[in-house]
Amino acid sequence: MEPVKILDNVYWVGALDYGIRDFHGYRTDSGSTYNAYLIVDEKITLIDAVKKDMHPELLSRVSRIVDPARIDYVVSNHAEMDHSGALPEIMRAVGFDKPVYCSKMGEKALAAQLQTPGLNYKTVGTGDTLKLGKYSLNFVETRMVHWPDSMVSFCPELGVLFSQDAFGMHLATSRRFDDEVAENVWAYEALKYFANILTPFTTPIAKTLEALTESGLLAQVKIICPDHGLIWRSNLGSIVGRYSRWVKQEPTRKAVVVYDSMWRSTDCMARALADALSTHGVLARLMDLKKNHRSDVAAELYTAGAILVGSPTINNEMYPTVAELLCYLRGLKFQNKIGAAFGSYGWSGEAAKHIQAALGDMKYSLPTPEARIQWAPKETSPEALMVMAKAVADALPEKRVPPDFDL
Ligand code: FEO
């Protein structure tokens, strides 16, 4: 398999995973890539690895440039298995005596996960530099972006930032660079990735962006090479600007109305709510959980100010799909969101109450009590739902939804 030249002496040598559809609970309809990079200098250096069992693809691409046994250094910017699982097999080809540079937390995580004695870990931290010849790598620890071990490597001579998970996206394509893919595709995939992977870590991401800006490093970056998706060589300002905006989690005048339904009563309620929200100038996204995955809901919610969650009551509980969504959203720890619960019922009607309580536990603000309708709505615009829609609209900021959010 062929490598892709990024610059003289810098190559992409990763693996393409067109078939993956589940990435720890995130539905990856567009597949993914595990990016690895080779720098050819006096010391030949591999940056990051790929998922277990994908080492033949990486080694095949490397072999088109150099014999893998000629690699001198390996850098592991991030220990999660999508970037380290193949490390033992790769080191068998490279040589177990060769150093694997990683953070202190990285060594712990790699040793515990790979369970491969004999790997020659060398720990590095912020401020450390590795000389490769005419090039060098400066390491910066970026804890919790995405894991405690995460770090980035910057080559100042080339202006290349190897950013591990940061600025990534789950997108498998034969194109490697941002300017080879339409903006609406990469903008959505980058947002979906951020919402589903990085939302819990917006505070450390904001601090990292600030530190990289203050140190002057970001201003020197000409190319960003992340561990997933496209290499940024033309839209750096755009993706860094998006991250700077996304970390703020600012609410917009947009609401996600998400629900499941048994006999279409809750479905009718959801439609009435979405319609009423629109009349108040709110961009409403109607998402039926029978047709929309929780990770698509998370992506829509990221750029919204409110979520209205609906479920019928079944056996005194909410629908399992709705419970699953709430569990997923609780883990993502969204900030600055408004919540509201609704649902139909036959006898007892606990579901909407349980949803309302769950949204409150997640610290969403609740401008209105839950709305419940027994059996089925008797009119197309039930009063309780009109009141709910107005309360949510009144609680949302007046600010319009920026056009680039309306993907
Ligand atoms: Fe792509 Fe946190 O691993």
Query: How much is the pLDDT for 401?
Result: 67
**Looking at 81-90, 155-164, 376-385, which range is the least confident one?**
376-385
**pLDDT score for 407:** 45
For ligand 1, atom 3: residue with the closest CA: 80
219: helix, strand or coil: helix
Beta pairing class for 223-226 and 160-164: parallel
pLDDT at 219: 96
Please tell me which residue in 80, 141, 149, 300 is annotated as part of the active site. Answer: 80
> Closest ligand 1 atom, CA of 197?
2
Q: Which helix (H) or strand (E) holds 298?
A: helix 294-302
Work out the average pLDDT over 105-133. Answer: 97
Give the amino acid at 187.
A
Q: How big is the CA angle at 168 (ends 77 and 91), to the nearest 5 degrees?
A: 35
Looking from the CA of residue 81, the nearest atom of ligand 1 is: 3
Summarize pLDDT for 219-235 with one digit per residue, the tens.
999 999 999 999 999 99
Q: Which helix (H) or strand (E) holds 268?
A: helix 265-279
Window from 257-266, 269-278, 321-330, 397-406 with minimum mean pLDDT: 397-406
| Reduced 3-state DSSP string for 115-134 | CCCCCEEEECCCCCEEECCC
Provide the pLDDT for residue 282.
Answer: 94
**What DSSP element (H or E) covers 338?**
strand 338-345
Q: Which two tokens stand for residue 275?
A: 């319609």
* 312 Cα–ligand 1 center, Å: 36
Calculate how far, in angstroms, residue 136's C-alpha sits from the geometric centre of ligand 1: 24
User: Do the Cβ atoms of 292 and 322 come closer than 8 Å?
Assistant: no
Q: What is the mean pLDDT of residues 263-281?
A: 97
Token readout for 30 is 């567009």
What is the overall mean pLDDT for the chain?
Answer: 96
Task: Mark whether 83 is an active-site residue.
Answer: no
| pLDDT > 90: percent of the chain | 97
Q: Is residue 312 packed enough to be buried (19+ CB in 10 Å), middle (13-18) or exposed (0-12)?
A: buried
Is 193 a catalytic site residue? yes
Output the CA 207–ligand 1 centroid distance in Å: 19
Strand ordering across the sheet containing 254-259: 283-288, 254-259, 306-310, 338-345, 371-374
One of 146, 170, 293, 354 is an active-site residue; which one?
146
Is residue 354 among the annotated active site residues? no
For 346-395, how does the pLDDT look when each residue is reduced to its tens digit (9 = 90+)? 999 999 999 999 999 999 999 999 999 999 999 888 999 999 999 999 99
Residue 227 CA: nearest ligand 1 atom is: 1
According to DSSP H, which parts of 127-214 are helical?
Answer: 183-193, 202-214
Distances (CA, A) of 96 to 56, 74, 266, 355: 17, 11, 60, 53
Task: Residue 396: count other Cβ atoms within 10 Å of its Cβ.
Answer: 22
Cα 150 to ligand 1 centre (Å)? 9
Atom 1 of ligand 1, residue of closest alpha carbon = 165
Active site residue 24: yes
- Report the pLDDT averaged over residues 47-56: 97
Is 171 within 8 Å of 182 (Cβ atoms)?
no
Instruction: Please tell me the distance between residue 140's alpha carbon and the centre of ligand 1 in angstroms.
Output: 17
Q: Give the amino acid at 272.
A: A
Annotated catalytic residue within 24, 97, 379, 398? 24
Q: Is the pLDDT of residue 277 over 50?
A: yes
Residue 404: pLDDT over 70? no
Q: How far is the CA of 84 from the centre of ligand 1 (A)?
A: 9
Active-site residue, 2 included: no
- Has 80 been annotated as catalytic? yes
Closest CA to 101 of 128, 127, 131, 75: 75
Average pLDDT estimate for 13-25: 96
pLDDT of residue 366: 98
**Average pLDDT of span 177-187:** 96
Looking at residue 406, what is its pLDDT?
46
Q: Which of 165, 227, 267, 300 is catalytic?
A: 165
CA of 90 to the centre of ligand 1 (A): 18
Q: CB-based contacts of 372: which residues, under 8 Å, 6+ apart?
A: 342, 343, 344, 345, 349, 352, 353, 384
Q: At what angle do helices 265-279 and 383-395 cross, to 10 degrees?
A: 50
Let me know if 55 is a catalytic residue. Answer: no
The answer to whether 329 and 362 are in contact (CB under 8 A) is: yes
- Ligand 1 atom closest to the CA of 168, numbered from 1: 1
Amino acid found at 285: R
Active site annotation includes 146:
yes
Average pLDDT over residues 151-175: 98
**Looking at residue 196, what is its pLDDT?**
97
The number of the ligand 1 atom at minimal distance from the alpha carbon of 34 is 1
- What's the whole-number mean pLDDT along residues 326-355? 97
Q: Is the pLDDT of residue 140 over 70?
A: yes
Instruction: Give the binding-site residues of ligand 1, using a 6 Å CB cut-off.
Output: 78, 80, 82-83, 146-147, 165, 227-228
* Catalytic, out of 73, 135, 193, 259: 193
Q: Is the whole-model pTM more than 0.85?
A: yes
